[in-house]
Structure 1
Amino acid sequence: MTSSPSQSGTAAGAVNQKLQSSLPNAVSEKLPHIPESKEELKAEIKAETKVVASAGLAQLRSFVAGGFGGICAVVVGHPFDLVKVRLQTAEKGVYSSAMDVVRKSVAKDGLRRGLYAGVSAPLVGVTPMFAVSFWGYDLGKSIVRSTSTVAPDGSLSIAQISAAGFFSAVPMTAITAPFERVKVILQVQGQKKLAPGEKPKYAGGMDVVRQLYRQGGVRSVFRGSAATLARDGPGSAAYFAAYEYIKRMLTPRDPVTGEASGKLSLPAVTCAGAAAGVAMWIPVFPIDTVKSRLQTAEENVTIGGVVKGLYAKGGYKAFFPGFGPALARAVPANAATFLGVELAHQAMNKAFN
């Protein structure tokens, strides 16, 4: 025998009342409410569907905005990155300074090829790379909100932002590691002197992937993944935490209530992005040096072997070649990244809201 709708609603109501009366408020408030009628059930399903769709759309927008911001970062920052990698991987005495790298690179290959060697790999990979990073950050914030206590207005603390930033590096590493491997190999290849008539070992990004796969399979293509995650995990935590902290400091506030009284200007966004880039590089630069050495080594090497070799050659200073160019790149490249992300969000809000 089946119960009538009114009987089902009465029973559901009785269960709801019993739970609320027998359990502490802190517990009963977190329990799901049992619908007491078909209309209430339909309304709850509709509301839940709307919430899921809204969350999915927000993550899609983060994905698109991150990809656009990444393209801006590569266009602005690749020459600085090229100088950093060549200083990190060159033998002692090859270059006297960052400007020496620029002079020799331009004299050998011209302005475009000299400063944008290896740019094809990051340009192809940067859209999914940064897109996944900002999508992972958005997802990380959702996870933090569902697993920890947040402010009544839904805002996260800087520590919670940092945790969400660390999470963003986990899915991003699967894309970052192979593209960085290809990029640094092409960048280092550009600094080798060729004999008359000799051709470069690699003809381009796809040729690097083919040869690496032929030599050692997927493991060779993904060499340096652990070092990449070791760099990007804490780096992303510092990156997003610094950006959010500085944004909050620069946001106009009411002098009486202390509440935000206006939106952050685009110049303030670029300042926050620039500072976030510097905050990211300072703690992880030695790890990046190890990663670059690991990914450009022609023989099979280990992280421990690279660390020992670097320290034996120059002590702690050996882990910081190219530190100046890295910080110099961090300012314009990350300012461009977050400016691109914010502009992309504004454009999507105008188009779809």
Structure 2
Amino acid sequence: MADFIAGALGGACGVMVGYPLDTVKVRIQTQKNYNGIWHCVHSTYKMERVSGFFKGMSMPMSTVSVSSSIVFGVYRNVLRNLCKLKYGTTTVKPSKFDIFLSGYAAGGAQILVSSPADMAKVRLQTQMCPSNSTTSSLLTGPKYTGPINCLLTIVKEEGFLGLYKGSSALMFRDCNSFATYFLSYAILREWLLPFEQSNSEFIGVLFAGGFAGVVAWGIATPMDVIKSRLQADGVTQQRYRGVLHCIRESVRQEGITVLFKGLSLNCLRAFPVNMVVFLTYEAILRQIKPFSE
């Protein structure tokens, strides 16, 4: 239970740190009218001011806490059960394969919660609404007025399964990235152990968490692009029939580099976000662990 609570708090802190860059990343991946990161930042600020970078944040703020709780809780519990099954005790040091499998299971477990929330986030982030709206745009108004309205509209127009559009791409992205995420963190913590012994232990947590996030997003970005495009699809007209069709059409129209759109931004965002996630997780875990035993 301690892992579930610490994971929830860590995920919430991570959302607050990384959300503005996440909005920029989604817009670059799904829209063709940006020349790069700074052009997207400038255009977003010019049209929508600071609020444009935080569109749809209320939904991820609440659901990422649940999703992160599931990820860390499932990871730790699967890892403990694997060790007990294979070695007869939970105190033994797990193998790298045990860590990889536990991370893979954790990534898959949170899809049911994260997919609808991610859908609402992407739709709201890609909805352009100028801060200095004209009279005509004020009369029509934005299609989605908020996360709940967005989810209800999707269900009404696309059915309940519309909330899980792109979930297969999300599954490919999250299972592999979380497996890499936890494995990278464990390896880096082990490498940094001599440094931690002569300095603060939280220094190792910060660097291991940050670099683990960068490595995980390096693996996840190609499928993240496809996931974002499938989720944004249907706002005006439906272009993609599924994951493979989206990959084929995206590569055909924009070249293989389209699969790496937002990679630099993902890595830039991943370092501070995952520093905060793991720091919060480890700190909270130490505080509540004695009471949960």
TM-score with structure 1 setting the length:
0.76
Matches for 1:286-325 after TM superposition, within 5 Å: 286-298=222-234, 299=238, 301-325=241-265
1:212 matched to 2:212: no
- Give the RMSD, CA atoms, in angstroms: 2.3
Q: Given that residues 120 and 150 in structure 2 are in contact (C-alpha distance below 8 angstroms), is that contact kept between their aligned partners in structure 1? A: yes
Partner of 1:128: 66
Partner of 1:4: none
How many percent identity over aligned positions?
A: 26
In structure 1, the gaps of 5 or more residues are 1-59, 254-259
Partner of 1:34: none
Partner of 2:49: 110
**Structure 2: distance between partners of 1:136 and 1:239:** 14
Structure ranking higher on relative contact order (CA contacts 8 Å, 6+ apart): 2
Q: Given that residues 83 and 89 in structure 2 are in contact (C-alpha distance below 8 angstroms), is that contact kept between their aligned partners in structure 1? A: no
Partner of 1:231: 173
1:334 matched to 2:274: yes
**Structure 1: distance between partners of 2:173 and 2:187:** 21
Instruction: Note closer, same or farther for the CA distance 1:141–1:167 as it changes in structure 2 (3 Å cut).
Output: same
Following superposition, the deviation at residue 295 of structure 1 comes to 0.7
**Structure 2: distance between partners of 1:235 and 1:290:** 15
**Structure 2: distance between partners of 1:191 and 1:84:** 18
Deviations 1:196-239 (A, max 9, x none): 43211000000011111111222111111111111000100000
Partner of 2:13: 72
Range 315-324 or range 61-70, more displaced: 315-324
Instruction: Note closer, same or farther for the CA distance 1:191–1:324 as it changes in structure 2 (3 Å cut).
Output: farther
Q: Given that residues 80 and 90 in structure 2 are in contact (C-alpha distance below 8 angstroms), is that contact kept between their aligned partners in structure 1? A: no
Q: Given that residues 117 and 190 in structure 1 are in contact (C-alpha distance below 8 angstroms), is that contact kept between their aligned partners in structure 2? A: no
Partner of 1:182: 120
Q: Given that residues 235 and 281 in structure 1 are in contact (C-alpha distance below 8 angstroms), is that contact kept between their aligned partners in structure 2? A: yes
Question: Letter of the aligned partner of 2:27 in structure 1?
Answer: R
Following superposition, the deviation at residue 264 of structure 1 comes to 6.5
2:209 is paired with a residue whose SS is helix
Instruction: Note closer, same or farther for the CA distance 1:273–1:150 as it changes in structure 2 (3 Å cut).
Output: farther
Partner of 1:36: none
1:165 matched to 2:103: yes
- Residue number among 127, 132, 144 corresponding to 1:202 in the alignment: 144
Question: Letter of the aligned partner of 2:31 in structure 1?
Answer: A
Instruction: Note closer, same or farther for the CA distance 1:146–1:327 as it changes in structure 2 (3 Å cut).
Output: same
Instruction: Note closer, same or farther for the CA distance 1:188–1:155 as it changes in structure 2 (3 Å cut).
Output: same
Q: Given that residues 20 and 54 in structure 2 are in contact (C-alpha distance below 8 angstroms), is that contact kept between their aligned partners in structure 1? A: yes
Q: Given that residues 181 and 216 in structure 2 are in contact (C-alpha distance below 8 angstroms), is that contact kept between their aligned partners in structure 1? A: yes
**Structure 2: distance between partners of 1:173 and 1:262:** 40
Question: Letter of the aligned partner of 2:222 in structure 1?
Answer: P
**Structure 2: distance between partners of 1:291 and 1:264:** 39
Instruction: Note closer, same or farther for the CA distance 1:306–1:152 as it changes in structure 2 (3 Å cut).
Output: closer
Following superposition, the deviation at residue 340 of structure 1 comes to 0.9
Q: Given that residues 278 and 330 in structure 1 are in contact (C-alpha distance below 8 angstroms), is that contact kept between their aligned partners in structure 2? A: yes
1:252 is paired with a residue whose SS is helix
**Structure 1: distance between partners of 2:203 and 2:155:** 45
Question: Letter of the aligned partner of 1:188 in structure 2?
Answer: T
**Structure 1: distance between partners of 2:71 and 2:13:** 15
Following superposition, the deviation at residue 315 of structure 1 comes to 1.8
Q: Given that residues 56 and 147 in structure 2 are in contact (C-alpha distance below 8 angstroms), is that contact kept between their aligned partners in structure 1? A: yes
- Residue number among 2, 20, 37 corresponding to 1:98 in the alignment: 37
1:189 is paired with a residue whose SS is coil
**Structure 2: distance between partners of 1:297 and 1:68:** 32
**Structure 1: distance between partners of 2:228 and 2:173:** 11
**Structure 1: distance between partners of 2:102 and 2:127:** 36
Question: Letter of the aligned partner of 1:311 in structure 2?
Answer: V
Question: Letter of the aligned partner of 2:10 in structure 1?
Answer: G
Partner of 2:190: 248
Following superposition, the deviation at residue 143 of structure 1 comes to 3.1
